[in-house]
Amino acid sequence: MAERPGDGPKKPPAPAEPAPPDQGYTEDEEAEVRKRLEDLGYVE
């Protein structure tokens, strides 16, 4: 399986996971984020 030519993709920088005190989204925010991610093709 041929890989992409050139310099080759850089390994993505290991993103830092958010700090534990951040509990994520509220229910309303989560619904909006979910809709956004659907429209951008991340989830269905």
Partner 1 sequence: MHTVAVDILTGFLGSGKTTLLRHVLDHGLHGKPVAVIMNEIGEVGIDGRVVTGLSAVEKMVELSSGCICCTIDDYRFDLAVQEIVETTRPHLIIIESTGLADPEPLVDRVKAAGLGLDAIITVVDALDGPRHLRETRVARLQIEAADFLMLNKVDLIDSGAADQFDRRLAKANPRAERFRTVRGVIDSDVLFATGVAAFRDRARRADAGDAGHLHTDGFASFVYRSVGSLDQERFERLVARLPRDIVRAKGIVRFAGRDWQCLFSVTCGRPELTWVKLPAVAENQAVFIGRNLERHEETLRRQLAACETAGDGPQERRQTHG
Q: Point out which residues bind partner 1 (CB under 8 A).
A: 1-15, 17-18, 20, 23-25, 30, 32-34, 36-44
In the complex, the smallest distance separating the C-beta of residue 9 from partner 1, rounded to whole angstroms, is 4
DSSP result, 6-30 = TT-PPPPP-PPPPPTT-----HHHH
In the complex, the smallest distance separating the C-beta of residue 41 from partner 1, rounded to whole angstroms, is 3
Phi, psi of 35 (to 5 degrees): -65, -40
In the complex, the smallest distance separating the C-beta of residue 3 from partner 1, rounded to whole angstroms, is 5
